[in-house]
Amino acid sequence: MTSFHIAERVRRIKPSPSTAAADRANELRRQGKEIVSLVVGEPDFDTPPHVRQAAAAAMEKGATRYTLMAGTVDLRRAIAAKLERENGLTYQLDEIIATNGAKSAIYSALAATLEPGDEVIIPAPYWVSYPDMTLACDGTPVSVSCGEAQGFKLTAAQLEAAITPKTRWLLINSPSNPTGASYTADEYRALAGVLARYPQVMVMTDDIYEHIHYGSTRAPHLLTAAPELRDRTLAINGVSKTYAMTGWRIGWIAGPRPIIQAINTLLSQSSGNCCSISQAAAAAALDGDQSFVDRSVAIYRQRRDAMLPLINAIPGLSCKAPDGAFYLYVNCAGLIGKTTPDGKLLEADGDVVLYFLERAGVALVAGTAYGLSPYFRLSIATDIETLTEGAGRIARAVADLR
């Protein structure tokens, strides 16, 4: 039998927990079980018609060949215009690169800049892929626990304590997956005050949920609050969440020219340019009518406001209202120590999530995947009927505990 060698960089990471949870829910469905899946962070809306039409038009006019490695001029102009219009940030076209989704953007930025042992500060709860992407790029993830009492956000004191001579990146996601927490301009300025003393620390902002924000004003950007950080910040975003374009796989990075050039070189020898048709669609999304964004955010807000009282009415569960994104990060500390009807002790949030799946047919993701327990993430990116059915099943399952 042939023996295959798997590289250490792959053996040190694990599959995405959220993907694994979704796969498990789908497997149970194939077995004939009725599963309410509240796992996937994917808009349940169709991509707006004018965006789909732009893709069709691009195909019809023959825009089906390789593009510039950094992305078409049209797309990068649209990205630059968006950053100027919405964030007050000015970037030249050679300071922007389009990538195969925001996930690829983050991974490529780490791969282009990390040396073995370099540290990346990652506030927890965090998106499940941050630590593993860091490990895959020979870096060391430094998780900093940011509890519910502090709004799930990194404080200036915590940042100061976490920085070492090996620190290369601070990674900030706002609004956050999984908590929906959003930094204020004052909180950004406090972090910037610390970073001013450590010029070797670069900053990566994952802005993918930027538009899914429930406040009366737009969520502030780090570089709007602290423009002095521009020369060491990568602003990462994409069209997946805002425009319901997850399958189109278009993200981007805006940042200092030397890093953008390095990432361009790396991608030229790995993934190559993004899909030409998707680039045309993304340009249309950014340049076109934005009313879809307002409508979808209003629906997410309605779902949040409907689900919060249902979840908070369940004994043993509680949830802080998220500022943005489309998740609830539910505290299940009140269920730890309880016993299932089958006599199993719930010792951790993983046990709670497994119990809800097996007893109630509700699929969720345990807080351990996000670096802070005992919680579970519940996606509200699905219709209200599915959400209320899921909440009812969870309530009945909790009532069966002893």
Contacts of 288 (CB under 8 A, 6+ apart): 48, 50, 51, 54
pLDDT given for residue 397 in this prediction: 98
pLDDT given for residue 211 in this prediction: 97
Closest CA to 148 of 5, 328, 301, 4: 328
Question: What are the pLDDT digits (tens) for 117-175?
Answer: 999 999 999 999 999 999 999 999 999 999 999 999 999 999 999 999 999 999 999 99
Extents of the domains making up the chain: 8-46+292-399, 50-287
pLDDT given for residue 1 in this prediction: 59
Reported CATH class of domain 50-287:
alpha beta
Q: Which residues of the chain have pLDDT under 50?
A: none
pLDDT given for residue 348 in this prediction: 96
pLDDT given for residue 19 in this prediction: 72
pLDDT given for residue 72 in this prediction: 98
Residue with tokens 């500022």: 323
Contact 326, 300 (CB under 8 A): yes
Count of other CB atoms within 10 angstroms of residue 355? 23
Closest CA to 294 of 177, 209, 213: 213
Spatial distance between the Cα atoms of 372 and 143, rounded to a whole number of angstroms = 10
pLDDT given for residue 27 in this prediction: 82
Contact 223, 89 (CB under 8 A): yes
Superfamily of domain 8-46+292-399 in the CATH hierarchy:
Aspartate Aminotransferase, domain 1 (3.90.1150.10)
Count of other CB atoms within 10 angstroms of residue 70? 25
Count of other CB atoms within 10 angstroms of residue 392? 15
Q: State both tokens at 248.
A: 């189109």
State pTM to two decimals: 0.95
At 149, the amino acid letter reads A
